[in-house]
Amino acid sequence: MNTGEGPILILTASAGAGHGVAAQAVESAIRARCPDADVEVLDVLRVCNSFFRAVYAQGYLGLVRHAPAGMGMLYDTMDRPDLGLRETLRVGFQNMNLGTVRRFLLRREPRLIINTHFLPAEVVAQLRREKKISCPQATVTTDFETHRLWVQEPTERYYTATEQGKAYLATWGVDPARILVTGIPVRPGFEQPSNGSEFRKAHQLDPQRPVVLLLCGGCGVGPTEELLRELLSMPSEPTIVVITGRNEKLRKRLERLTASSDKPVRIVGFTDRMHEWMGVADLIVSKPGGLTVAEATVCGTPLVSVNAIPGQETRNSDYLLENGAAIKVNNTRLLGFRVAQLLEDPERLATLRDAARALGRPGAAARIAADALSLLEERRN
């Protein structure tokens, strides 16, 4: 049996960008606590065969882009008990294609595994049941509600964003004592106070204008050009900042779109200053991905929820709306109107900001790192 004397592995899967960001946040927190620790982050989809990687990652993106309703149906279907043959076929298909992941884990002989996606958690749990590895594992859920697929036993610890996320895992038989409500881990920059006025000055942002931040998402999914056109059509003139990330084609298209605009607009590609852009923004227009929501609430910046993916993102959006930390725009044609309404109502905007800040859970990564490392101490004792 693998006795688990090797590194601490943080396992994720690149089906959506947020899982990888959460993994990096946990890695940073562990290194801050134990600078000499042997820690590795692994995207398991980079280890598995190319066929499974294409089906899993590209299939996910294909559904999100072209059949979001189908994505929602799949999400809800997989959140039910007694799936019978469908579950057998799903697990069988995974096992046929994840042999390289299993062999990698056996070779590395980890002493602790932390998952930020349910796929590696399922692989590890199966190896544990087969008594091929014995190291403890912990799982970090990355949305504000949880789902049946996160429950993969044996798992020593589950970390959730909210109390209702914890309560839902418990309905699937997880001992509540093994579920900690920590919040979703965010990158280190979000944990540090930033000087908004200095950042505005450095980036030549008019201090008299509000800032509306439009995020394109890690996967570049959504009608970004349409959203930007609606913001540019507003009668009010905030500074509009669009973050396109590593999507260079999109950045160039948006630069062409705004070349003749007389509105103050900034197109930003990849940036490692996202925490500062979010911090100076008065509003964030974005899909409500789990990590985006976590980062926005830590910054105390309200969200304008658009184009939520049915399933996990619509549930994230519901959570924000129930707690008064966001507004939802169902029809893109109304985006400019709704944003202008908010910018012209400072009292409402302040109420949204206060509610967003109340939901923020700074320090989540540090709490997760401390508790996960304590599992090693428990094992030694």
Asked if 199 and 308 sit in the same domain, the reply is yes
Asked if 325 and 371 sit in the same domain, the reply is no
Beta strands in the chain (DSSP E): 8-12, 39-43, 112-115, 137-140, 157-160, 179-181, 211-215, 239-245, 265-269, 283-286, 303-305, 326-328
Each residue's pLDDT, cut to its tens digit, for the chain (381 residues) gives 555 578 999 999 988 779 999 999 999 999 999 999 999 999 999 999 888 888 887 777 777 777 788 888 888 888 988 777 888 888 898 889 999 999 999 999 999 999 999 999 999 999 999 999 999 999 999 999 999 999 999 999 999 999 999 999 999 999 999 999 999 999 999 988 777 888 998 889 999 999 999 998 755 556 899 999 999 999 888 999 999 988 889 999 999 999 888 889 999 998 999 999 999 999 999 999 999 999 999 999 999 999 998 999 999 999 999 999 999 999 999 999 999 999 999 999 999 999 999 999 999 999 999 999 999 987 775
Quote the number of domains for the chain. Answer: 2
What range defines the domain where residue 109 resides? Answer: 8-185+363-380
Asked if 122 and 226 sit in the same domain, the reply is no
Nearest CA-CA partner of 101 in 125, 136, 78: 125
Residue 3 lies in a domain: no
Nearest CA-CA partner of 25 in 363, 360, 339: 363
Asked if 254 and 274 sit in the same domain, the reply is yes
Looking at this protein, which amino acid is placed at residue 327? I
Residue 111 lies in a domain: yes
Greatest distance between any 2 Cα atoms in the chain: 67
Global confidence as pTM: 0.93
Nearest CA-CA partner of 24 in 322, 377, 307, 368: 368
Q: At what angle do helices 85-97 and 118-129 cross, to 10 degrees?
A: 90
What is the CATH classification number for the domain harbouring 26? 3.40.50.2000
Gap between the Cα atoms of 228 and 297, Å rounded: 23
Asked if 32 and 54 sit in the same domain, the reply is yes
Angle at 137 between CA 131 and CA 138, to 5 degrees: 155
Asked if 274 and 368 sit in the same domain, the reply is no
Nearest CA-CA partner of 216 in 195, 240, 185, 191: 240
Asked if 154 and 296 sit in the same domain, the reply is no
